[in-house]
Amino acid sequence: MPATQKIGFVSLGCPKALVDSERILTQLKAEGYEIVPSYQAADAVVVNTCGFIDAAVQESLDAIGEALHENGKVIVTGCLGKRAGLIREAYPEVLAIGGPQDYESVMRAVHQALPPRRDRFLDLLPDTGVKLTPRHYAYLKIAEGCNHRCSFCIIPSLRGRLVSRPVDEVLAEAERLVKSGVKELLVISQDTSAYGVDLHYAERPWRDRVYRTRMTELCKGLAELGVWVRLHYVYPYPHVDELMPLMASGGILPYLDIPFQHASPRILKLMKRPGDVERTLERIRAWRKAVPELTLRSTFIVGFPGETEAEFEALLDFLREAELDRVGAFAYSPVEGARANALPGAIPEELKEDRLERFMSVQAEVSAARLARKVGHRLRVLVDEVDADGALARSSADAPEIDGVVRIVGGQGLRPGQFVEILVEDSDAHDLYARLATPASGTA
């Protein structure tokens, strides 16, 4: 009997791209291909690329080049696939190039390079077939694309306009994940708050009730599953206020990932972003009054074209006043195809890096102060890793990969995916340090 065809796989980019990779890998396995962890063991390699900023483009090109050098048969998919000419110019020997979510072209290319050794193909299995995250958490992608036209962003040209998944389909997938052992669902899309607007908030039955295809309705359904539910990429639309009672009651985690991007009304206008900063601060205060334990994460761009020193200082003042718990920042980088490239007043690279350093210094002070308030408190945490030094866990305030961790001394008897209660003994600008406050058996 012929040997099984073997595929190597490289996944780059954001969690949304990771979900695309999981779907492709699931289809490959359904059609009888074996997924292998090295170039040398593979008959061909699929590279799922990112093309959002210049650094991501270069990383993707480097990954393609490495795969070609080590293996020779390479199929490219993902966001950089939208710039096929760039890839062909660098690597004309690539077998095929497809864009994001273009699962059919990936499979056609794989079939041509390595004909599947089975008589028939299965239909595409649910995303739960293959997971690239640890067993105890999973990304739940609820929509593709975006209707915004931010001047610094090319996501709509890469991934198209908003296309929401029906609410019953999302809830059914979430339930399958929970039944498979997932303890935390990380809800992702390009604009989670806009979920369902393209479907006119269509009603769909799930379990014993009817849900609208809308963010707040989806969250109510997810809350019934009894696991952590964490929301990412939430734009501060008015209906975000409706989530506060659900967070206060414990239905979903008191955590919001909101990309504010800046605090200068003029810069926000140039970015084509909402610009009512005072209203934003008022809402943050109202959210924290309703949910005192609320964690707010955000991302910002410094050195945007035309940004003055006064506007940058206004951004620092916003950081101090908003007291955001978790913050990521980037020095503005021109992206091919972005309208912001044509704006006057480009900031010198040295000044951009200086502002980024100052920004992160202020945020480190804010973060350290926020975390210090947790010293002496008991928290429920989810264990991610265990080693000879103890365990690494996360609280409701910590998303995987992008936020801090809770380092548990004496946690060697714990296991990944376990909930335990800890007592916080120390903190720094990013992490908490703790010991177990309950027996090590914890909660599975």
Which residues sit in the known binding site? 14, 50, 79, 146, 150, 153
**Sign of CA pseudo-dihedral 298, 302, 305, 311:** positive
Rounded Cα gap, residues 297 and 183, in angstroms: 21
DSSP assignment of 363-411? HHHHHHHHHHTTTT-EEEEEEEEEETTEEEEE-TT--TTTS--EEEET-
Residues flagged as binding site for [4Fe-4S] cluster: 14, 50, 79, 146, 150, 153
Is residue 307 within 8 A of residue 278, CB to CB? The reply is no
Is residue 222 within 8 A of residue 171, CB to CB? The reply is yes
DSSP assignment of 39-70? TTT-SEEEEEE--SSHHHHHHHHHHHHHHHHH
Structure token pair of residue 311:
């506007």
Rounded Cα gap, residues 117 and 111, in angstroms: 10
Q: Is 8 left (phi over 0), alpha (psi -120 to 50) or beta?
A: beta
Helix, strand, coil tally for the chain in percent (to 5): 35, 25, 40
Q: Where are the beta strands (DSSP E) in 103-208?
A: 137-141, 143-144, 163-164, 184-188, 203-206
The residue to which tokens 């105890």 are assigned: 136
